[in-house]
Amino acid sequence: MSFTATSTLLSAGPLLFAPDLSSDGSAVLFVADVSQATLLAFEFPAEAPAAAADVRVDRLGAKLASLLGVERTDVLIKGITVHPVSHAVYLSIARGRGPEAGPAVVRADADGDLSVVELDDLPFTSFELDDAPAADDERKDVWLDSGDESTQQREINGITLNFAQVPLQRSTITGLAWVDGTLFVAGSSNEEFTSRLRRIAYPFDGSATATSVEIFHVDHGKYETHSPIRALTSFGGGTGILASYTCTPVAYFSLDQLRGEGLVRGRTVAELGPMNQPFSLVSYERDGEEFLLVSNTRHPLMKIAAASIVGQLPLDLPLSDPESSRGVPRENLDHAGVTWMAALERDSVVVVQDENGDVNLRTLHADVL
Protein backbone atom coordinates (compact mmCIF):
# COMPACT_ATOMS: atom_id res chain seq x y z
CA MET A 1 0.00 0.00 0.00
CA SER A 2 1.37 3.42 -0.90
CA PHE A 3 1.00 6.42 1.36
CA THR A 4 1.55 10.08 0.58
CA ALA A 5 2.48 12.31 3.51
CA THR A 6 0.48 15.47 3.98
CA SER A 7 1.93 18.46 2.15
CA THR A 8 0.74 20.74 4.96
CA LEU A 9 2.61 18.99 7.77
CA LEU A 10 6.24 18.09 7.13
CA SER A 11 7.30 16.40 10.37
CA ALA A 12 5.65 14.67 13.32
CA GLY A 13 5.58 16.20 16.77
CA PRO A 14 3.35 16.74 19.80
CA LEU A 15 -0.33 17.42 19.21
CA LEU A 16 -3.16 18.74 21.38
CA PHE A 17 -6.86 19.52 21.07
CA ALA A 18 -7.97 22.80 22.61
CA PRO A 19 -10.64 21.86 25.18
CA ASP A 20 -12.76 24.86 24.22
CA LEU A 21 -14.87 24.73 21.06
CA SER A 22 -15.06 27.59 18.57
CA SER A 23 -18.29 29.59 18.29
CA ASP A 24 -19.46 27.38 15.41
CA GLY A 25 -18.81 24.17 17.34
CA SER A 26 -15.59 23.30 15.55
CA ALA A 27 -12.64 21.86 17.45
CA VAL A 28 -9.04 23.02 17.01
CA LEU A 29 -6.17 20.54 16.82
CA PHE A 30 -2.70 21.99 17.40
CA VAL A 31 0.07 19.98 15.74
CA ALA A 32 3.77 20.75 16.08
CA ASP A 33 5.79 20.63 12.87
CA VAL A 34 9.12 20.21 14.61
CA SER A 35 11.37 20.47 11.55
CA GLN A 36 9.77 23.80 10.60
CA ALA A 37 9.53 25.14 14.19
CA THR A 38 5.87 25.81 13.44
CA LEU A 39 2.53 25.27 15.18
CA LEU A 40 -0.40 24.38 12.93
CA ALA A 41 -3.98 24.85 14.13
CA PHE A 42 -6.42 22.68 12.15
CA GLU A 43 -10.18 23.35 12.39
CA PHE A 44 -12.34 20.23 12.60
CA PRO A 45 -16.06 20.48 11.73
CA ALA A 46 -18.54 20.25 14.59
CA GLU A 47 -19.23 16.70 15.76
CA ALA A 48 -22.12 15.24 17.73
CA PRO A 49 -21.30 14.84 21.41
CA ALA A 50 -20.51 11.29 22.45
CA ALA A 51 -19.87 9.79 25.86
CA ALA A 52 -16.36 8.54 26.39
CA ALA A 53 -16.09 4.81 25.80
CA ASP A 54 -13.36 2.38 26.72
CA VAL A 55 -10.86 2.68 23.88
CA ARG A 56 -9.13 -0.56 23.00
CA VAL A 57 -6.94 -1.30 20.00
CA ASP A 58 -4.90 -4.50 20.14
CA ARG A 59 -1.67 -4.69 18.11
CA LEU A 60 -1.80 -0.96 17.49
CA GLY A 61 1.71 -0.85 16.09
CA ALA A 62 1.07 -3.54 13.48
CA LYS A 63 -2.23 -1.94 12.46
CA LEU A 64 -0.63 1.50 12.11
CA ALA A 65 2.11 0.00 9.95
CA SER A 66 -0.47 -1.63 7.69
CA LEU A 67 -2.52 1.55 7.49
CA LEU A 68 0.50 3.69 6.60
CA GLY A 69 2.18 1.18 4.30
CA VAL A 70 5.43 0.81 6.26
CA GLU A 71 7.21 -1.79 8.32
CA ARG A 72 6.28 -2.11 11.99
CA THR A 73 9.71 -0.82 13.01
CA ASP A 74 9.09 2.35 11.00
CA VAL A 75 6.10 3.42 13.11
CA LEU A 76 6.94 5.81 15.94
CA ILE A 77 4.29 7.50 18.08
CA LYS A 78 5.15 11.12 18.88
CA GLY A 79 2.05 12.25 20.75
CA ILE A 80 -1.57 11.58 21.71
CA THR A 81 -4.67 13.70 22.35
CA VAL A 82 -8.45 13.27 22.67
CA HIS A 83 -11.20 15.11 20.77
CA PRO A 84 -13.19 17.18 23.33
CA VAL A 85 -16.61 16.18 21.94
CA SER A 86 -16.39 12.84 20.13
CA HIS A 87 -13.70 11.48 22.50
CA ALA A 88 -11.91 9.91 19.55
CA VAL A 89 -8.19 9.43 20.11
CA TYR A 90 -5.69 11.13 17.78
CA LEU A 91 -2.10 9.96 17.39
CA SER A 92 0.88 11.80 15.92
CA ILE A 93 2.96 9.29 13.94
CA ALA A 94 6.44 9.46 12.44
CA ARG A 95 6.92 7.07 9.51
CA GLY A 96 10.56 6.27 10.19
CA ARG A 97 13.24 7.42 12.61
CA GLY A 98 15.24 10.54 11.97
CA PRO A 99 14.82 14.05 10.54
CA GLU A 100 13.44 12.78 7.22
CA ALA A 101 10.62 10.71 8.74
CA GLY A 102 7.24 11.50 7.22
CA PRO A 103 4.32 12.56 9.44
CA ALA A 104 0.76 11.33 9.79
CA VAL A 105 -2.13 11.96 12.16
CA VAL A 106 -4.27 8.89 12.82
CA ARG A 107 -7.70 8.77 14.47
CA ALA A 108 -8.88 5.85 16.61
CA ASP A 109 -12.66 5.75 17.03
CA ALA A 110 -14.41 4.40 20.12
CA ASP A 111 -14.86 1.06 18.33
CA GLY A 112 -11.14 0.84 17.65
CA ASP A 113 -11.19 1.61 13.92
CA LEU A 114 -8.14 3.51 12.66
CA SER A 115 -8.11 6.10 9.88
CA VAL A 116 -5.63 8.62 8.52
CA VAL A 117 -6.74 12.22 9.07
CA GLU A 118 -6.64 14.13 5.77
CA LEU A 119 -5.11 17.32 7.14
CA ASP A 120 -4.81 18.91 3.71
CA ASP A 121 -8.62 19.02 3.52
CA LEU A 122 -8.97 21.07 6.72
CA PRO A 123 -8.71 24.85 7.12
CA PHE A 124 -5.75 25.84 9.24
CA THR A 125 -3.62 28.71 10.47
CA SER A 126 0.02 28.55 11.52
CA PHE A 127 2.50 30.19 13.85
CA GLU A 128 6.25 30.01 13.26
CA LEU A 129 8.52 30.27 16.29
CA ASP A 130 11.22 32.91 15.93
CA ASP A 131 13.56 31.50 18.58
CA ALA A 132 14.30 28.03 17.20
CA PRO A 133 17.90 26.75 17.23
CA ALA A 134 19.52 27.11 13.82
CA ALA A 135 20.31 24.10 11.64
CA ASP A 136 24.04 24.71 12.19
CA ASP A 137 23.73 25.08 15.98
CA GLU A 138 26.35 22.66 17.30
CA ARG A 139 24.54 22.01 20.58
CA LYS A 140 22.95 18.59 21.13
CA ASP A 141 20.00 17.22 23.04
CA VAL A 142 19.87 13.74 24.55
CA TRP A 143 16.90 11.44 23.89
CA LEU A 144 16.35 8.28 25.93
CA ASP A 145 13.21 7.05 24.15
CA SER A 146 14.78 5.21 21.16
CA GLY A 147 13.04 7.66 18.83
CA ASP A 148 15.96 8.35 16.50
CA GLU A 149 17.89 6.41 13.90
CA SER A 150 21.14 7.19 15.75
CA THR A 151 19.93 5.54 18.97
CA GLN A 152 22.44 3.18 20.53
CA GLN A 153 22.27 1.12 23.67
CA ARG A 154 24.60 2.35 26.36
CA GLU A 155 25.30 0.83 29.76
CA ILE A 156 25.56 3.28 32.66
CA ASN A 157 26.04 2.00 36.21
CA GLY A 158 24.85 -1.42 35.13
CA ILE A 159 21.69 -0.09 33.47
CA THR A 160 21.20 -0.36 29.70
CA LEU A 161 19.67 2.75 28.13
CA ASN A 162 18.55 3.76 24.67
CA PHE A 163 20.70 6.83 24.04
CA ALA A 164 20.78 9.30 21.15
CA GLN A 165 22.39 12.70 20.74
CA VAL A 166 20.38 14.78 18.26
CA PRO A 167 20.75 18.32 16.92
CA LEU A 168 19.17 20.80 19.31
CA GLN A 169 16.90 22.04 16.53
CA ARG A 170 14.95 18.75 16.70
CA SER A 171 13.95 19.58 20.28
CA THR A 172 12.56 23.02 19.46
CA ILE A 173 9.07 21.77 20.39
CA THR A 174 8.90 19.02 23.01
CA GLY A 175 5.45 19.49 24.53
CA LEU A 176 2.13 21.38 24.36
CA ALA A 177 -0.36 22.34 27.04
CA TRP A 178 -3.57 24.40 27.13
CA VAL A 179 -3.61 26.55 30.25
CA ASP A 180 -6.24 29.17 31.09
CA GLY A 181 -7.22 29.66 27.45
CA THR A 182 -3.65 29.91 26.14
CA LEU A 183 -1.40 27.49 24.25
CA PHE A 184 1.92 26.82 25.99
CA VAL A 185 4.80 25.40 23.97
CA ALA A 186 7.85 23.86 25.67
CA GLY A 187 11.20 23.14 24.06
CA SER A 188 14.65 24.44 23.19
CA SER A 189 15.62 27.86 21.87
CA ASN A 190 18.52 29.64 20.22
CA GLU A 191 19.25 31.55 23.44
CA GLU A 192 22.12 30.92 25.84
CA PHE A 193 19.59 29.70 28.40
CA THR A 194 18.14 27.07 26.11
CA SER A 195 15.04 25.78 27.91
CA ARG A 196 11.96 27.80 26.88
CA LEU A 197 8.28 28.10 27.72
CA ARG A 198 6.29 30.10 25.15
CA ARG A 199 2.72 31.29 25.61
CA ILE A 200 0.82 31.83 22.37
CA ALA A 201 -2.68 33.22 22.14
CA TYR A 202 -5.14 31.58 19.74
CA PRO A 203 -6.35 32.69 17.20
CA PHE A 204 -2.75 33.34 16.21
CA ASP A 205 -1.88 37.03 15.84
CA GLY A 206 1.86 36.70 15.20
CA SER A 207 2.95 37.45 18.76
CA ALA A 208 4.21 35.23 21.55
CA THR A 209 5.69 35.59 25.02
CA ALA A 210 8.76 33.39 25.46
CA THR A 211 10.40 32.84 28.84
CA SER A 212 13.71 31.12 29.53
CA VAL A 213 13.29 28.74 32.47
CA GLU A 214 15.55 26.90 34.87
CA ILE A 215 15.04 24.36 37.63
CA PHE A 216 17.15 22.79 40.36
CA HIS A 217 18.01 19.23 39.39
CA VAL A 218 18.34 17.31 42.65
CA ASP A 219 20.04 14.25 41.15
CA HIS A 220 22.54 16.40 39.26
CA GLY A 221 22.97 18.77 42.21
CA LYS A 222 22.74 22.03 40.27
CA TYR A 223 20.49 24.52 38.52
CA GLU A 224 19.96 23.73 34.86
CA THR A 225 18.88 25.95 31.97
CA HIS A 226 19.63 23.73 28.96
CA SER A 227 17.53 20.56 29.21
CA PRO A 228 14.06 21.22 27.77
CA ILE A 229 10.78 20.30 29.43
CA ARG A 230 9.66 16.87 28.16
CA ALA A 231 6.06 16.81 29.42
CA LEU A 232 3.76 19.45 30.88
CA THR A 233 0.18 20.00 31.97
CA SER A 234 -2.07 22.64 33.44
CA PHE A 235 -2.06 22.71 37.24
CA GLY A 236 -3.76 24.49 40.10
CA GLY A 237 -6.98 25.23 38.27
CA GLY A 238 -5.13 26.86 35.38
CA THR A 239 -2.93 29.09 37.56
CA GLY A 240 0.27 27.27 36.72
CA ILE A 241 2.11 24.54 34.86
CA LEU A 242 3.57 21.30 36.11
CA ALA A 243 6.54 20.12 34.04
CA SER A 244 8.79 17.09 33.96
CA TYR A 245 12.34 16.74 32.63
CA THR A 246 14.84 14.03 31.77
CA CYS A 247 16.36 12.27 34.81
CA THR A 248 13.52 13.11 36.26
CA PRO A 249 12.75 16.32 38.18
CA VAL A 250 9.19 17.67 38.33
CA ALA A 251 8.76 21.44 38.70
CA TYR A 252 5.97 23.96 39.07
CA PHE A 253 5.76 27.31 37.25
CA SER A 254 3.20 29.97 38.11
CA LEU A 255 1.60 31.67 35.12
CA ASP A 256 2.38 34.99 36.76
CA GLN A 257 6.09 34.20 36.33
CA LEU A 258 5.91 33.46 32.61
CA ARG A 259 5.90 37.01 31.24
CA GLY A 260 9.03 36.85 29.10
CA GLU A 261 11.04 38.81 31.63
CA GLY A 262 14.50 37.41 32.36
CA LEU A 263 15.28 33.89 33.52
CA VAL A 264 12.48 32.29 35.56
CA ARG A 265 13.19 29.62 38.15
CA GLY A 266 10.58 26.89 38.62
CA ARG A 267 9.86 25.30 42.00
CA THR A 268 11.23 21.76 41.91
CA VAL A 269 8.74 19.58 43.82
CA ALA A 270 9.91 16.04 43.07
CA GLU A 271 12.90 14.02 41.94
CA LEU A 272 11.63 10.80 40.35
CA GLY A 273 15.01 9.23 39.62
CA PRO A 274 17.89 9.25 37.11
CA MET A 275 18.48 7.68 33.70
CA ASN A 276 14.87 8.14 32.67
CA GLN A 277 12.82 10.33 30.35
CA PRO A 278 9.12 11.11 30.85
CA PHE A 279 6.63 10.57 28.03
CA SER A 280 3.46 12.17 29.39
CA LEU A 281 2.12 14.01 32.42
CA VAL A 282 -1.67 13.95 32.93
CA SER A 283 -4.13 14.56 35.75
CA TYR A 284 -7.27 12.69 36.75
CA GLU A 285 -9.71 12.56 39.67
CA ARG A 286 -10.56 9.74 42.04
CA ASP A 287 -13.03 10.05 44.92
CA GLY A 288 -12.98 13.84 44.59
CA GLU A 289 -9.20 14.10 44.79
CA GLU A 290 -6.85 15.09 41.95
CA PHE A 291 -3.82 13.00 41.04
CA LEU A 292 -1.01 13.27 38.49
CA LEU A 293 0.36 10.40 36.41
CA VAL A 294 3.88 10.39 34.97
CA SER A 295 4.79 7.77 32.34
CA ASN A 296 8.45 7.04 31.72
CA THR A 297 11.01 5.31 29.54
CA ARG A 298 12.53 3.29 32.40
CA HIS A 299 10.69 3.96 35.65
CA PRO A 300 7.22 2.55 36.35
CA LEU A 301 4.05 4.57 35.85
CA MET A 302 4.00 6.95 38.83
CA LYS A 303 1.12 8.52 40.73
CA ILE A 304 1.36 11.78 42.72
CA ALA A 305 -1.36 13.45 44.79
CA ALA A 306 -1.89 17.02 43.56
CA ALA A 307 -2.47 18.25 47.12
CA SER A 308 1.07 17.24 48.10
CA ILE A 309 2.53 19.41 45.34
CA VAL A 310 0.81 22.58 46.53
CA GLY A 311 2.60 22.65 49.88
CA GLN A 312 5.96 21.25 48.76
CA LEU A 313 8.88 23.59 49.50
CA PRO A 314 11.41 24.07 46.67
CA LEU A 315 13.99 21.31 46.42
CA ASP A 316 17.38 23.02 46.27
CA LEU A 317 19.85 20.59 47.82
CA PRO A 318 21.79 17.87 45.97
CA LEU A 319 21.27 14.23 46.93
CA SER A 320 24.77 14.23 48.39
CA ASP A 321 23.56 16.61 51.11
CA PRO A 322 22.21 14.72 54.16
CA GLU A 323 19.38 17.25 54.37
CA SER A 324 18.27 16.70 50.79
CA SER A 325 14.82 15.44 49.81
CA ARG A 326 13.23 13.71 46.81
CA GLY A 327 10.12 15.81 47.38
CA VAL A 328 6.49 14.79 47.25
CA PRO A 329 5.47 11.17 47.87
CA ARG A 330 4.87 9.07 44.78
CA GLU A 331 3.44 5.60 44.15
CA ASN A 332 4.61 3.14 41.52
CA LEU A 333 1.61 1.64 39.72
CA ASP A 334 1.36 -1.87 38.34
CA HIS A 335 0.70 -0.95 34.71
CA ALA A 336 3.87 -1.94 32.91
CA GLY A 337 4.82 -0.50 29.54
CA VAL A 338 2.69 2.67 29.61
CA THR A 339 4.22 5.38 27.41
CA TRP A 340 1.99 8.08 25.84
CA MET A 341 -1.10 9.15 27.79
CA ALA A 342 -4.01 11.60 27.46
CA ALA A 343 -7.03 12.34 29.63
CA LEU A 344 -10.19 10.73 28.25
CA GLU A 345 -12.49 12.03 30.98
CA ARG A 346 -11.66 13.37 34.44
CA ASP A 347 -11.83 9.80 35.76
CA SER A 348 -10.13 7.94 32.91
CA VAL A 349 -6.93 8.03 30.88
CA VAL A 350 -6.19 6.55 27.46
CA VAL A 351 -2.69 5.07 27.18
CA VAL A 352 -0.31 3.51 24.70
CA GLN A 353 1.08 0.38 26.34
CA ASP A 354 3.93 -1.90 25.32
CA GLU A 355 2.74 -5.49 25.57
CA ASN A 356 3.84 -8.77 24.01
CA GLY A 357 6.21 -7.22 21.48
CA ASP A 358 3.79 -4.59 20.17
CA VAL A 359 1.93 -1.56 21.50
CA ASN A 360 -1.78 -1.46 22.33
CA LEU A 361 -4.24 1.33 23.04
CA ARG A 362 -5.94 0.94 26.41
CA THR A 363 -8.25 2.86 28.75
CA LEU A 364 -7.38 3.03 32.46
CA HIS A 365 -10.09 4.11 34.89
CA ALA A 366 -9.56 5.85 38.19
CA ASP A 367 -10.52 2.76 40.17
CA VAL A 368 -7.39 0.95 38.94
CA LEU A 369 -5.08 3.96 39.25
Q: What is the pLDDT of residues 204-260, one digit of tens each?
A: 999 999 999 999 999 999 999 999 999 999 999 999 999 999 999 999 999 999 999
Whether residue 287 lies inside any domain: the answer is no
Tell me which residue range forms the domain holding 95.
1-128
- Nearest Cα to Cα of residue 227 among 180, 159, 178, 274: 274
Whether residue 13 lies inside any domain: the answer is yes
Whether residue 327 lies inside any domain: the answer is no
Whether residue 226 lies inside any domain: the answer is no
Q: Please give the pLDDT value at position 97.
A: 87
> Residue 22 pLDDT more than 90?
no
CA–CA separation, 267 vs 256, rounded Å? 13
Whether residue 170 lies inside any domain: the answer is no
What's the domain count of the chain? 1
Whether residue 324 lies inside any domain: the answer is no
> Residue 4 pLDDT more than 50?
no
Q: What does the pLDDT average to over 255-270? A: 96
Strands 15-17 and 27-33 turn out to be antiparallel
Q: Please give the pLDDT value at position 2.
A: 35
pLDDT digits (tens, 9 = 90+) for 43-102: 999 988 888 789 999 999 999 999 999 999 999 999 999 999 999 999 999 998 888 889
CA–CA separation, 228 vs 212, rounded Å? 10
Whether residue 67 lies inside any domain: the answer is yes
